[in-house]
């Protein structure tokens, strides 16, 4: 069994939880309250910025020029296509580009992106790919599942979002990233594989937490100091 297949099989219970989460079901049947989707868009936009930084570090650690070129293409696709789609969705739901870029990360968004960047800074290229795969692969599978279960219902305000992630183009990128992981782990040592499995599993868990955070519109357990407030000293 290929390493990626073993990882994806181990994460199947997490993906099942994601696919039946009320936020995801609401995307599929069109009943998701728009304020929840707007909150999700803000947080996912912030997430994608850091996701791109992780891809940038992956490019720096790639040894093969062809692989560097393909990773750079995936980075460009995220920056120029996926993030532009987010800006378009946001406009439809009454949020400007400025609102997206001025949003503050939730606790889950912060933790997930710090996990990805820590792996990207300190890990090997294979470890970076393992940490990034749950997002890329998970969104494709989610798009396919929602498209199959609910179809392109004309009245669903989220139908274009579903179509984007169910598209063959997005699936091709997910399959390619999975193939890269398998090629990079061919002949890898057990301790290295175990480290990649931990990174992959952590990202898979964060994916589920991200959907739940968006459903609850949850920022931080204890609100932080607002911008412009004083230093909070006593006396």
The pLDDT tens digits for 21-41 are 999 999 999 999 999 999 999
- pLDDT score recorded for residue 224: 62
Domain span at residue 141 reads 3-216
Name which residue leads in pLDDT, 33 or 93: 33
Confidence (pTM): 0.89
- Among the listed residues 101, 207, 218, 227, the single catalytic one is 207
Measured in residues, the chain has a length of: 235
The pair of structure tokens assigned to 85 is 């789609």
52 part of the active site: no
Angle formed by the axes of helices 107-122 and 190-216, to 10°?
A: 160
Structural domain count of the chain: 1
CATH number of the domain encompassing residue 106: 1.20.910.10
135 part of the active site: yes
Domain assignment of residue 12, yes or no: yes
Task: Give the CA angle between residues 187, 192, 196 to the nearest 5°.
Answer: 110
User: Does 229 score more than 80 pLDDT?
Assistant: no
In terms of Cα–Cα distance, which of 151, 145, 170 is closest to 77?
Answer: 170
Q: What is the average per-residue pLDDT within 160-186?
A: 92
- Among the listed residues 16, 118, 135, 229, the single catalytic one is 135
User: Does 203 score more than 60 pLDDT?
Assistant: yes
- pLDDT score recorded for residue 92: 81
Domain assignment of residue 223, yes or no: no
């Amino acid at each position: 069994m290929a390493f990626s297949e073993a990882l994806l099989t181990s994460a199947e219970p997490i993906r099942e939880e994601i696919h039946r989460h009320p936020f995801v079901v609401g995307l599929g049947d069109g009943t998701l309250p728009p304020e929840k989707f707007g909150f999700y868009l803000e947080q996912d936009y912030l997430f994608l910025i850091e996701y791109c930084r992780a891809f940038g570090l992956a490019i720096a650690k790639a040894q093969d020029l062809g692989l560097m070129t393909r990773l750079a293409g995936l980075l460009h696709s995220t920056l120029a296509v996926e993030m532009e789609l987010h800006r378009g969705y946001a406009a439809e739901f009454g949020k400007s580009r400025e609102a997206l870029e001025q949003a503050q990360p939730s606790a889950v968004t912060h933790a997930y992106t710090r996990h990805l960047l820590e792996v990207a800074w300190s890990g090997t290229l294979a470890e970076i790919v393992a940490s990034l795969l749950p997002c890329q692969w998970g969104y494709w599978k989610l798009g396919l599942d929602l498209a199959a279960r609910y179809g392109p219902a004309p009245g669903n305000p989220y139908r274009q979002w579903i179509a984007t992630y169910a598209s063959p183009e997005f699936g091709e990128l997910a399959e390619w990233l999975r193939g890269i992981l398998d090629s990079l782990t061919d002949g890898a040592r057990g301790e290295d594989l175990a480290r990649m499995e931990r990174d992959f599993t952590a990202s898979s868990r964060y994916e589920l937490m991200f959907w739940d955070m968006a459903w609850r519109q949850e920022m931080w357990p204890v609100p932080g100091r607002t911008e412009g407030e004083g230093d909070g000293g006593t006396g």
